[in-house]
Amino acid sequence: MSKWDGKAMSQMDFMEKDTVLVLDNDDNVIGSESKRGSHEFNMKQPAGVLHRAFSVFIFDKSTNELLLQQRATDKITFPSVWTNTCCSHPLHGMDPPEVDSPAEVAAGTVPGVKHAAVRKLEHELGIPPAELPLEKFKFLTRLHYWAADTVTHGPKAPWGEHEIDYVLFFVVKDKSEITLNLNKEEVEDVKWVTQEKLLEMMNDENLLFSPWFRIIVKKWVLGKNGWWNDLKETMETDKFCDFESIQRFDPPKEHLGGLGNAKPQFNDEAVGDSSKKQGAYGKIQTHKESKFSQLSHIDEIWSALVLLKIKPLKSNLESDFVKQTFNASDLEFCDDILCKVSRSFAAVIRQLPPTLLVDVLIFYLVLRALDTVEDDMTAFESNEIKIKHLMNFHKTALEDPAWSMDGVGEADEKRLLQEFPKCHSVYAALKPESKEVIADITKRMAEGMAEFVGKDLGQGTADVEQYNRYCHFVAGLVGEGLSRLFAASGLEDASMSDELFLSDQMGLFLQKTNIIRDYLEDYVDGRAFWPQSVWKKYSKSGDLGYFANQNDVEAKKQALYCLNDLVTDALHLVPDCLKYLSKLHCAEVFRFCAIPQVMAIATLDKCYHNEDVFTGVVKIRKGLSCKLINNTNDVAGVHAVFYKFAKSVAKQAMKAKASGFQDPSFDRTIAICQNICDLTRAEVKKQNTSFFVDCSLITCVGAGIYTGKIPIALSAASALIVKTATKSIGNMKTSAKLEEEKKNN
């Protein structure tokens, strides 16, 4: 975070150095831009760049007057115009932070905007921050407007405003409560006015008023139901508050045009869609390959057919052991809600042996419920209350059969908490050893989450140590818990419960992959995790949002430097992950652990040196996911996958270097990729099926398609799959085989 010093900066300094919050039309922060770059109107950006702003209205309750300011004649944009008390922009990288999360906007708290208002009221009007307590600001609504500064600069004006503006009211008992000491470089004059005086001034053709002020006054402040009519009602109730919709306005005709010849963008006073969910979810685009590209991978199409028709991951939920041990109705709910909150994990959990399946299923749901409590930024009145719920979760949720929680989370996560007694019913029927593991990990994870509640993560974690610590609490502990459950089930060696370091590394590899991929989504949500000690080496603005400005050549280059650095860091976890997998004996447990790992290495390969990470969510092809699942049967198959993608990352790095890209992480990237290839090469050479069996499968389905006998082709392919899986298990044994050996011994 940086300390902003307005006294040491000129008007041009503000234009060049202030970094505003670039938005999409739904007010999600999607990047950053200089004040100059966002306010320029030209043919490339006719209406500038949409960014966040605020407008403060300070009232004297005793006289029912509003404090106006006249902008200084030396202001670059809209000089000499009369406007509300103060109007400016929240900035990136400020201390206190000025970037509000979607949850804070939805709740109407907007501390970031209020901090920005305090900063600028002191800078422009000299009002001391002590006279401006945050709790006295009332956030009322937002408007999306734009206007070319054609009145000042003429019809080809190079400047203008394009903002989503937050309207804030502030009321003092008497104007003597605030100290005014005008900054003449910012403010030409001020005036306290009544409603009648304001109308008189606005009707004076010799006076200029800012277009945003005219819109706000006309729409909300004056008139029959105007907010100014009853300041007590406006400030003490939520009657006029609207935190969901965004009102949209084109400017008066005299503010159309500019150097970019900007045209009207909205139907008059069009209202934003208030039904849209706040937050990044569903707002950030997902980058997908073209249909042609996906269809060109015939082997992946076949893999999808195999999963759909042959279903090699058989569910064990219908086994006699499961039916006889657990309440059928409650278990059905748990299985159903698992599919809804995490479809990707459902299949690999269901294929686990019956004596382990439900233990892992409940372990996952308990932690998902805990995560829902931690993630909800609006349900709790204070961080202290949230921390109390987190710290007691292992007792309330796991010891009280009737415990549930309402009003926390959204959609299926909310339902999970509302109907948690059904989960508890199944949890209560687990083996004592399993319940002990689940309760212990839940308690320790909650303690870790509590450590991060209240931390400002808008700019990521502080350093790599904190980055690793966060990943340990939310993922490494999961790995430890799973290892202990594997050992308790008897399906794996008892020593697995002591593999704490390797278990932690497995979790960190998955979590770091997700954090790298979700850069933009997390940044927009106001809870980012890229470590500042890494990204600040590359951000020229000192702000994490700098990398989202992909129109800037330098920002794009630095973004890739940072991305490649973090991918390389994650790849250093691979040797330990491979070591962990080599210790497993049960085929189903191995698949459960290995499938997420191969998905992660494929995702890192997709993210490496990929600028799409900074403009949306990058995902691997669904067909590739299916192929990875089908071929993750043993160590040889997994090593083949890691070998393939490590070589791919190295190839991309060398290609970038050959093109002149001077990546600071290049040597480290090549070294770890070489290490991974060395570790996996032996298994790849001796394995004779696994990742490369698809040619035979394609022959089967190809013949079926050509002859019109697809069912026959699938039948033949199914036999080949079974034969292949049997051959490729190698040192793996199915749970049935392990059980048989136990009985014989």
CB atoms within 10 A of CB 111: 16
pLDDT for 457 equals 83
Rounded CA-CA distance 537/534 in Å is 6
Rounded CA-CA distance 231/59 in Å is 9
Rounded CA-CA distance 459/219 in Å is 36
Phi, psi of 160 (to 5 degrees): 180, -175
The rounded Cα 509 to chain-centroid distance in angstroms is: 18
Give the SS3 label for residue 271.
strand
Q: Is 517 a catalytic residue?
A: yes
H-assigned helices in 140-184: 150-153
Based on C-alpha coordinates, what's the Rg of the chain? 30
Closest alpha carbon to 338 in 313, 357, 310: 357
Instruction: Return the residue matching tokens 């059928």.
Output: 328
Rounded CA-CA distance 698/706 in Å is 12
| Continuous segment of H or E residues that includes residue 60 | strand 51-60
Rounded CA-CA distance 529/523 in Å is 8
Catalytic residue among 57, 240, 470, 645: 470
Q: Are 634 and 641 in contact (CB under 8 A)?
A: no
Record the pTM.
0.68
Beta strands 247-249 and 617-618: pairing type? unpaired
Catalytic residue among 527, 529, 608, 643: 527
Q: Are 547 and 614 in contact (CB under 8 A)?
A: yes
Structure token digits, residue 315: 């569910």
Rounded CA-CA distance 48/276 in Å is 25
Q: Is 470 a catalytic residue?
A: yes
CATH annotation of 6-271: 3.90.79.10
DSSP class of residue 583 equals T
H-assigned helices in 178-217: 195-202, 211-216
**Cα angle: 535, vertex 539, 540; to 5 degrees:** 160
DSSP class of residue 257 equals B
586-to-154, 339, 345, 575, 743 alpha-carbon distances in Å: 76, 24, 18, 21, 16
Q: Is 343 a catalytic residue?
A: no
pLDDT for 561 equals 97
Dump pLDDT digits (tens) for 615-631. 888 888 777 777 888 77
Structure token digits, residue 610: 């990929």
Sign of the four-CA dihedral 254, 255, 260, 262: negative
Rounded CA-CA distance 356/181 in Å is 71
Those residues of the chain that have pLDDT short of 70 are: 1-16, 267-285, 287-313, 687-745
Rounded CA-CA distance 674/672 in Å is 5
Q: At what angle do helices 477-489 and 354-375 cross, to 10 degrees?
A: 160
Catalytic residue among 142, 350, 484, 517: 517
Spell out the residues 6+ positions from residue 172 whose beta carbon is closer than 8 angstroms to its own: 58, 59, 60, 61, 178
pLDDT for 153 equals 85
Rounded CA-CA distance 291/288 in Å is 9
* Domain ranges for the chain: 6-271
Rounded CA-CA distance 310/339 in Å is 20
Structure token digits, residue 379: 């349900």
Dump pLDDT digits (tens) for 406-433. 988 888 899 999 999 999 999 999 999 9
Closest alpha carbon to 166 in 95, 94, 241, 218: 241
Structure token digits, residue 431: 């083996």
Q: Is 527 a catalytic residue?
A: yes
DSSP class of residue 252 equals P
